Amino acid sequence: MNFYKAQDDARKQTLWLLALFTIAVVLLVLLTNLCVAFFVLYSNPEYALDGVNPIADAGGNIFQWCENLITALGWKKFTWTTLLVVGVLAMAMLFKWLSLRDGGRVVAEALGGRPVLTNSSQAQEKRLLNVVEEIALAAGIPVPQVYLLEKEPGINAFAAGLSVEDAVIGVTQGCLDTFNRDQLQGVIAHEFSHVLNGDMRLNMKLLVVLHGILMISESGHMVMRMTSQRGRRYRSYGHGRNNGGVVAGLFAFGLCLWLLGSIGQLFGMIIKSAVSRQREFLADASAVQFTRNPNGIGEALSLIGGATAQSQVVHHGAHEVSHLFFSRIGSPRRYFTQFFATHPPLEERIRRVMPRWSGRFMKPSSLEREASVLSGSGETVSSFAGSEQVVEPTIGEQKAESAKPVEHKPIEFEPAFSQDGVFKSAYDLLVGKAHEPSEAPALMCAVLLDEQEAVVKKQLKIVSSSQKGSPQKIGGDLADSVADMIKPLAELNSEQRLEIVELSIPALKLMSLVQYRHYRSLFLELIHADGKIDVFEWLIFQLLKQHCDRYFGLSRPEKPKYKDIKKIASLYQVVLSRIVYYGLEREQATYQQAFKEGCEAASVAGITLLPISDCQSARFTRAVHDLGLAYPLLKPRLLKGLLAAAKSDAVVTAKQSYLIKGVAAVMDCPFGGVES
């Protein structure tokens, strides 16, 4: 599955959607002007607009009548009406976009969801968090916040957000009560694919566009309500004869606006549903690719079909975001036509991932639910093994595949606790601390401690002094907590230390903005304590900036601007040269060969290896930032080139790995997807 091609397709669908929306706006403007002209004429039939009587001069031709009506209105009134309609749409869309700019948590909270705390003691919630973390690590993206819709008995889930950094995963209580681990894994993998495929941002744009059209009908409804109230007031005071025509005309105008907005909403829903259905098939196939287990998502879909509540979501605001969910949120009998279905039929989705499906839906079992809950307790985070992928067979291949049994290797997970309840390893101990909001800041400080004893003493003094008189203290004594983590951290390899940092990010996001600013400054002090920044420190701070700074609103994602790889060749030259020099000690000719292989893998020509003095930290960091402004289809090419250069001697050093992962984070390009 090419996630970057899928993102490009999502962008093209966005352009198509905007084109359709533009056409809809033009039609709304024309029809609204007709309504205004008709209202002016209707409110005073003896008055001919600009000396023209459009009804008398049309000769029974409806198109001629419309043309005459618009002409009679005059350009001044036409311009003001047009500006009013466009202004209402623009203001409504801007308001909606601003309300969504904080990311997916806005949607989750609007649906009545509550965040699942990273240190939750509930077995179901711990299992959910573990599954989300596993797939996030496998996908090479930050662990998103998880929300639970406790009042929803239906089986459903959703992903929402404007970028990878502000994404959230939400699940209903019915989802937790019904699914075992494999089925839950399939559903969460499906939602993650929406994040990687660019569907999430597309869906949020759909929300904004449809809200703009909705405001037209809401404006009409408001006019009708106001005029009906005024009409009753006029009649009560005996002024109905003098003002009845104006009131009736205003009511008719409001009715027309309401009808126009409703028709616009109707077509908007059709567009939304058509886009959503196609992206669901892609997400199902991607879920199989993530988990290497087609039965997981297939059985989840089958259980939805067999459940009493199915995938219904009862919250009153759910229909506005129906296209975000894993399955349709209403009862099938409420959908009179497939034009309005945001999701393909369950039967079709199941057969695409399980060609040998019997056609019978599974019935949820309370005994199975209880067993699945018990099996969820005490599980630890584990990344997916291997990089093999199962790709959904095409329509033509499904008949051939239907004769073969679907083979998959289930993912096995080690329990985090031994029988006496003690953590089995230092890694498991630190994973537990990474989930604790009160421990995560101390863990980040401990990870940033230097190898030299003198520097460590200086850093511990910085930690201790940072807490004196500070109102931002979290948990117990920070310096003691940091000191307690030094020994278990020493037992971890570099990959495990990096995983610990990534798993700490959701807990760091639970801080207040003031607390985050305080600890961010502390982390920077620890990094600069020895007067230099090593590669691991650079990577950690890039992860912090990319994921936490955006979450707390300290930075905003920038729009891509580089479509042509030639325009960023000089930037790539700096980054690739730096990667090459962080390899094993070798001859200049070997460096040149590694640089050449990196250029060939990325299809970049016309650049040469820079001297090491020309690709130092400041210039390198600026180049990485600017590479992040490339369009998504270019980013995996660039990262593959960096990987090719690092692998040219068959050994990827830790520094090279850190640099490439940092580059991937800054570029918003999931590293796991590139490796596969």
Closest CA to 507 of 554, 438, 456, 570: 438
Spatial strand order of the sheet with 157-160 comes to: 114-115, 145-149, 168-172, 157-160
- Of residues 208 and 514, the one with the higher pLDDT is 514
> Greater confidence, 243 or 548?
548
Give yes or no for residue 235 having a pLDDT over 50. yes
Q: How confident is the model at residue 405 (pLDDT cuts 50, 70, 90)?
A: very low
With a CB cutoff of 8 Å and minimum separation 6, the contacts of 285 are 1, 352, 353, 391, 392
- CATH architecture, range 105-200+283-376: 2-Layer Sandwich (3.30)
Dihedral sign, Cα of residue 528, residue 534, residue 540, residue 545: positive
Q: pLDDT class for 156, splitting at 50, 70, 90?
A: very high
Q: Which residues pair with 263 in a beta bridge?
A: none
Measured CA to CA, the distance from residue 294 to residue 301 in angstroms comes to 11
Most confident of 184-198, 275-289, 407-421: 184-198
* Backbone dihedral angles phi then psi of residue 588, each to the nearest 5 degrees: -60, -35
Q: Long-range contacts of range 413-416, CB-CB < 8 Å, 24 or more positions apart? A: 413/130, 413/379, 413/380, 413/382, 414/380, 414/382, 415/378, 415/379, 415/380, 416/378, 416/379, 416/380
Pairwise CA distance, residues 177 & 182, whole Å: 14
Our CA angle for 61, 62, 64, nearest 5°, is 65
Give me the helix-helix angle, 123-139 and 181-197, nearest 10°.
Answer: 40
Six-digit token string for 438: 């009160």
- 464-510 pLDDT, tens digit per residue, is 888 775 555 565 688 889 999 999 999 988 888 888 998 898 889 88
Lowest-confidence region among 127-131, 402-406, 445-449, 599-603: 402-406
Task: Tell me if residue 299 is catalytic.
Answer: no
Give pTM, 2 decimals. Answer: 0.66
State the Cα–Cα distance between residues 618 and 452, nearest whole angstrom.
25
Mean pLDDT in the chain? 77
Show Cβ contacts of residue 574 under 8 Å, excluding neighbours closer than 6 positions. 610, 614, 615, 619, 620, 623
User: What are residue 548's phi and psi, to 5 degrees?
Assistant: -90, -40
Does the pLDDT of residue 179 top 90, yes or no? Answer: yes
Distance CA 425, CA 178 (A): 32
Instruction: Give the residue from 375, 626, 452, 664 showing the smallest Cα distance to 542.
Output: 664
Burial class (CB in 10 A: 0-12, 13-18, 19+), 593: middle
- Residue 533: DSSP 8-state: -
pLDDT tens digit sequence for 381-398: 333 333 333 333 333 333
Domain residue ranges of the chain, discontinuous segments joined by +: 3-102+203-274, 105-200+283-376, 426-551, 565-675
C-alpha separations of 2 from 8, 16, 282, 285, 302 in Å: 10, 21, 10, 11, 27
- The pLDDT confidence band at residue 407, using thresholds 50, 70 and 90, is very low
| Per-residue pLDDT tens digits for 564-597 | 888 999 999 999 999 998 876 677 788 899 999 9
List 415's β-bridge partners, or say none. Answer: 379
Average pLDDT rounded to a whole number, residues 288-315 = 86
- Cβ atoms of 395 and 338 closer than 8 Å: no
The candidate with the shortest Cα–Cα distance to 263, out of 28, 589, 599, 89, is 28
Q: Predicted confidence band at 45 (pLDDT cuts at 50, 70, 90)?
A: low
For 494, phi then psi, to 5°, come to: -65, -35
φ/ψ (deg, to 5) at 168: -135, 150
Q: Which of 133, 191, 499, 502 is catalytic?
A: 191
